[in-house]
Structures are given as structure tokens and as C-alpha cells.
Chain A
Amino acid sequence: MPIKPIDEVEPGDVLINPIQDSMGRVLIQQGEAITEQLLNVLKRRGYVEIDVKSPEGSGVSASYSQSGEPAFSETISGDEDVKRMKEELESRFHNVEDTDREMIIVKNAAENVLTAKIASKKGLS
């Protein structure tokens, strides 16, 4: 994996893995392009290296077929992202009971929106 020292990361580089904080919460999703300001934020937060590919690089995007359909490995990876997101959601909502109707509606909405976001990122890779 092309792990780059933070000083060598350039705006436009794309994250291969999500960036998480010390508590394991996802701060920036994988597939997101690094902007200059994000780079400043990461440096300020003490990140020394991150897992990125250059936009024209052969990383994740190279595994897409000519037709634009995601390759098999990418489909698996997308499923894994959704699975991980659902696990995070379960953990976050640990104090919510099945009878908390309002909170279950909020949880379902968050799951729908985050799933769509993962799907959209995968489609754009």
C-alpha cells in the first residue's frame, strides 16, 4: 500500500483507507480526495503518514473495468465498508432500545444515508 509521509501528500491525492481518530471514529472516508485545507488539518492533528494514491495512480481506480463496472475486488471492498459502517452504527446506538421508536427512525435514516454515501464514493472511484 502506498503509505506516504504527510509532507509528501499532495492536494488531489485520494485516500485508500479511511482516516480515524484515536477513538476509531471515521473522520474522512476512503475515496475522498485530499484538499489543501484537509492536509493542513491532518498535519495539525499530528498525522505523520497516510495511505493515499495519486489521482492518476494505479491504485483502486485501476481495478475498474473498461465498462465502468466495479471489479470483483471492489465489490467486496464496498460490502466491507457497509458492514463496517453498520457495526459502527450498532456500537454508537448501544444505549438505544428496540422500543425507542424515534431513535430507531434516526438510526435507520443514518444507515440509509451512510450506505448511499459509500455507494456513491465507490461509483466515483
Chain B
Amino acid sequence: MSPNASNLDELEKMLGKLDDLPTLPTVVTQINSMAKDPSTNAADIGKVISNDASLSSKILKLVNSAYYGFPRKINNVTKAIVLLGFNKVKNIAISASVVDAFKHTGKIQGFDFFEFWEHSLATAISAEATAKELAPDVADDAFVGGLLHDLGKVVMVSSLNDIDAVFARARSEGLTFQDAAKVAFDFDQAKIGALVAEHWNFPEALVRCIRYWPYPNRTRQHTEAVNCIHVGNVISSALGKTSCGDNAMPMIHPEAWEALELNEENVLKITSETASGLDNASAFLELAV
């Protein structure tokens, strides 16, 4: 379907709303810049993050949670960076800040932020499990990309007047939210999410993951992480953590299946890892409360 005047109006309206988005803490921008500087060390970054007491305490709560399973308590951010790696701590900081920015969205027109976050978390865990099994180098990117893959949906729900009709169409025709949104507007949460991620100066890999996770065949960059998130979205839905507004199973693209060399054995292992990961991830769920 080609975009018509009304769809372009809606897209323009969405673009206009970007300036109204909640702002992320300055520390997130700072650590994103520091990530690009090879001379930055754990202590420098730890110091910057520690200046934001609220974010630091969230990071420490998460790294000390059952999900990471460290035997001893990690009591400062620098130590967390040394043990988990800067990339993981950076991703936790981004995720915690985004949830904070949006959690007060609450229930808008039938959209429940908690349900949204549950699906996002399950997708993150499943994408990470897929990566650990089949593309270990991108495990961190797969996790954060999974956590933020549906970011555009929150913005659409809070900005578009006709969003009720999208939920209604998905229900009455048994569609995913994404398919119903494309029929209504000719754009979806992936497109809007990528615009938001760019607006917030997120790392390029993360922007690409958010833009292309539903279309793994349309990008030739960061394909492994994109494929893992694509698969994670399906497996989380299969386990009952469906995406808010979805009334059908999202389908696995054959290209992603082949690229990752998925088969009965590794899909079962990834699904099982996802279910156990979810059992230990209550600290992440609590972020949305």
C-alpha cells in the first residue's frame, strides 16, 4: 500500500511529536559519547554514572538481581562495569532510563505499559538466549535491542488519535498490531521507534535493530543482532508473553531462520533458556512499576 495524504499527515504528526518526547538523563548521552572514546576506562564511566544517584541505584539493583546471578553483592557502578563489561552496563543504563521516561504512560486507550514491558523483557531475554547459542558476540546488543524493539509503539499509542482503530482491527481480523498499523498508517512501530532512537542519539547498532527487527531481510548491517531480536519476539510470544495489541503470532522470516541455522534442537534450548531467564528477571519487571 502506498502512503496517501492522510498517512503522511499522521507520520508528520508523529515527527512533530519527537520534540515533545520525554528527555533522557544527561548521563545517558554522556556514556554514549564515552563509549566511542577508546581511552575511557571503567573508573571514568563509573564516576559519571554515579553522579546520577537514581540511575546508579537502578543499575546496582539490576546487576545484583537473580538474572545475573553474581555470588557476591556488587556495591558500586565501577565494579559492575569491571565484572559485566561497559557495554552491558551502558545498555542497562539506557534501558532503565527509557522505562523511566515512559512508565507513566500507564493505560492509554487499552494499552497497558506493564504488559508492553513484559513482552519487551521476554523478547530481550529470548534474543540474548538466541545470541548466546548462535551469535555470542552480539548477545548484549540483542538484549538491549529486544528490550527496546517496540519503543515506537508507546509513542504511537500516546500520539495518534486513530490508534484505537488499530487495536480494534487487530482484534477483529486476528492480526498483529504491526500489521494492523501498517494497514491504517502505512508505517509501524519499528519505523517510529527508530526515529525516536535517532532523536535520542542511541548507538547506530541499536537504531538499526529497532528499525529492522521485523524485516531481517532488509538490512545488511548488524544482521546477527537483528535476526536474534526477530526470533526473540516470536519465542517470547509463543511462551505467552505476547506483545500488547497482537492478536496473531508474528512469523519467523525464513532468511533469519537460515542465517542463524535454527533447528528443532536449538529452538528448544533457546525457548527453555528464555523461560528460565524470565523466572529470574523480576528485578527488570519492577522497573516498570
Residues in chain A within 8 A of chain B (CB atoms): 21, 25-27, 35, 37-38, 40-41, 44-45, 88-89, 92-96, 100, 102-103, 105-110, 112-114, 116-117
Interface of B is mostly: helix
**Beta-carbon contact of A35 and B282 below 8 Å:** yes
- Report the Cα distance A103→B271, complex, angstroms: 13
Q: Can you offer 10 A-B residue contacts whose CB atoms are under 8 A?
A: A21-B115, A41-B114, A92-B242, A94-B249, A95-B174, A102-B257, A107-B238, A108-B264, A109-B264, A109-B271
B239 & A113 in contact (Cβ 8 Å cutoff): yes
Residue B235 interfacial (CB < 8 Å): yes
Q: How many residues of B contact A (CB 8 A)?
A: 33
A95 and B249 form a contact (CB under 8 A): yes
A90 to B272, CA, bound (A): 19
Contact A102 B262 (CB under 8 A): yes
Interface centre among A25, A27, A93, A106 (most CB of B within 10 A): A106
* B249-A37 in contact (CB<8A): no
Q: B252, A41: Cβ atoms under 8 Å? A: no
B250 to chain A, nearest CB (A): 9
A41 touching B235, Cβ below 8 Å: no
Chain A contacts of B251 at CB under 8 A? 95-96, 100, 103
B289 near A106: Cβ-Cβ < 8 Å: no
Determine how close the nearest CB of chain B comes to the CB of A57; give it in whole angstroms. 23
B231-247 residues with Cβ-Cβ distance < 8 A to A are 234-235, 237-240, 242
